[in-house]
Structure 1
């Protein structure tokens, strides 16, 4: 048997292609199924079965379209109510695909009906377990995505589910979770890129703590999660439409200017420093990197016209692929080129870029310097730049009036969220200075302004 990992780093998730003797099973596929189809073709295998561990809350599944495209069985937890035909997976069921057998274990916690799949060969030997959002690497899936009224029940259930997996499986069993590689679906930070049941027995909080200690720790670690999560479960239950990765309509500079004047969502995909050096006034900067999808999906006014600006057609195509993964299927258009090439109106906008040592110098010269901290609440709890105003970037649109007029220095943990915030402030008429650096770097981060992580900030 061969287990291929299909990474989606922008969401912190993994899908899997499991193959043997010319047939294959796919676990928790992403929306852009061409990656799975291409891998199956490379392996020379036929996909006969597609399985889901749960109705996902952080992305739109590609499972339904993949199963229909290749004529495979589509297996979804039996307890989930869906609007399409599927093979229900209930505790104790066994799904067969060639020499592969997948035993279904009900492992509630991340959701009520979550299941894990234990992979065995024809001889009954355990080869792996696919744990979805249950047992992760040094953590578990978060338990608050279905609403506060379910969180306590699901947290206790998660504890017992992880313990059930550990008790049922040999210590050497490889563990293959869907979440936990930067995903907000993880309750607490994960560690590592591979593991076994035996290793998890030694390090996983659900297996090293008593039940109440685990529950208390998990609940204490639950911070904010992207707003678009609320839309994913219903989309997956209804059955997503076939994916569309075609190029959006081309928009010229004159049309861009009209959209910017109207206050529409026009997103510049360039690097944060390039955007700061020169951009179309009114555009927002979501740098096309690992965090692009999470934060655009989090802040986006769902359903509003969305236009992309990319340096190349490839940049636009990459952003398009990312966006369909969370169900942003319809773009108002896209423009390709530099700001200078696309400008059809007044001069370009710009703002300065500095770093934490630069912020320290500016604060020394002006102790009342306006500084904005765009990090999450859990990060702020560990300290912050003295005197800074704390407004998490996902709250900034609603709280823009809290930010002083004029010049404002903006920082976050790495510079990525600060760049989004800076572009929002620029659009609102402020004069941002982007602090582009790592808060946690002792040489160039918070230490440069006299505060270390964990210091109490005013």
Structure 2
């Protein structure tokens, strides 16, 4: 009897898989922290005999090469992928016997990348799972603009054909197990749900319901911003990522924290946004450890700039380290635990700023308050769905380089739910601006009576 275990990487919106039988298994698109995969295999009592990549990833650093080296597994990488290390190239139709009665077959499914390959697991000749990587997702497909902008439309057309190939070759009941799409920016559109099948996708997925021209037009129109760190992931994966080091970073005291800040390095406070607003070390930046830490820190930080982490507990530091190695931020310069009282030098006081809701902003406007700037840090696609009249728009991932564009006054900064507003508020606060972090859902803006302009839907 076969099994398929899912390893979720929530912060990046990805899934990896371990699939096998009684003795051996294959790991598909493994995360960089490979101890998770090894532990999953140990729980099953199986040996990892194969590691399979669906493509050279653009959104995270793979653990595939190191997992293969550590376990002695055969490393399956699409033949068309240009990589700098030894691997077993797989082409369309290639098969491997995973265990007794279990076979893994490669299907060329270009689109997300030119070399993208899906894998179908069969038991006694019957397909039981399709590992679709960045091809067919849950109600969506992988975006096609991450390799080369000149190839975007060509790959979109290939993506349509690849989705149809999967639907044509597999029965309705076959589970579709994508790598991307659970909050990943590799998805061409938002994904809802956690499970799907070929039949379910046949009924709802635009790639299978629309003709190629309509599908391509809609896909290209819906492509959103690409996280800046993606530019570094593909090259790292093609070169061959080194092993990770998750040992504790150098301990930081108040003097070292001050030195890091004075040197222009990033000191990141991982506490929740309310605690940060209520008191923090001046100049530190707030990226919640429980939010999409890896995505937003890697997106905003100048690549290669040293980072020091602050958190309440060692466990939070360790969790942050694990998240960050997945996107190539391998070793924090230092770390400290506790709270602002532990991180400030003698005689220094914590800095703070207010946090509020949209109702507070509406009340302030109703009183005719002057010198108030509303800053919207959502992406342009979100703003197109509705915006507060008069709000300045600078997406959070652009704010660090555009601080000079924020008009004078007290800045009330908002996003869709509060997480990105907190990041933006900390950036503004570190730059010496008076700021209020709006910790509220955007729907509350209209409910509070703020003038919200919504784009008419056809």
Q: TM-score higher than 0.5 here?
A: yes
Contact 1:265 1:307 (8 Å CA) reproduced: yes
Contact 2:373 2:408 (8 Å CA) reproduced: no
Query: Residue 202 of structure 1 aligns with which residue?
Result: 203
Query: Residue 121 of structure 2 aligns with which residue?
Result: 119
Q: For the residues of structure 2 that align with 1:294 and 1:57, how far apart are their CA atoms?
A: 12
Q: Which residues of 2 match residues 28-427 of structure 1 at below 5 A?
A: 28-99=29-100, 100-121=102-123, 123-344=124-345, 346-366=348-368, 369-427=372-430
Q: Structure 1 residue 86: deviation in Å?
A: 0.6
Q: Residues 33-56 of structure 1, C-alpha deviation per residue, up to 9 Å, x if partnerless?
A: 111111111111111000000000
Contact 1:263 1:282 (8 Å CA) reproduced: no
| Residue 161 to residue 248, structure 1, CA distance change in 2 (3 Å) | same
Contact 2:20 2:98 (8 Å CA) reproduced: no
Q: Structure 1 residue 244: deviation in Å?
A: 1.0
Q: Structure 1 residue 81: deviation in Å?
A: 1.0
Q: For the residues of structure 2 that align with 1:429 and 1:382, how far apart are their CA atoms?
A: 32
TM-score (norm 1): 0.97
Contact 2:289 2:320 (8 Å CA) reproduced: yes
Q: Structure 1 residue 156: deviation in Å?
A: 0.5
Q: Structure 1 residue 233: deviation in Å?
A: 0.6
Q: For the residues of structure 1 that align with 2:190 and 2:376, how far apart are their CA atoms?
A: 22
Q: Structure 1 residue 290: deviation in Å?
A: 3.2
Q: For the residues of structure 1 that align with 2:230 and 2:367, how far apart are their CA atoms?
A: 43
Q: For the residues of structure 1 that align with 2:264 and 2:283, how far apart are their CA atoms?
A: 7
Q: For the residues of structure 2 that align with 1:366 and 1:158, how far apart are their CA atoms?
A: 53
TM-score (norm 2): 0.97
Q: For the residues of structure 1 that align with 2:236 and 2:135, how far apart are their CA atoms?
A: 22
- Number of positions where the alignment pairs a residue of Structure 1 with one of Structure 2: 452
Query: Residue 448 of structure 2 aligns with which residue?
Result: 448
Structure 1 stretches of 4+ moved >4 Å: none
Q: For the residues of structure 1 that align with 2:452 and 2:360, how far apart are their CA atoms?
A: 16
Q: For the residues of structure 1 that align with 2:344 and 2:322, how far apart are their CA atoms?
A: 26
| Residue 77 to residue 207, structure 1, CA distance change in 2 (3 Å) | same
Q: For the residues of structure 2 that align with 1:55 and 1:454, how far apart are their CA atoms?
A: 39
Unaligned runs of 5+ in 1: none
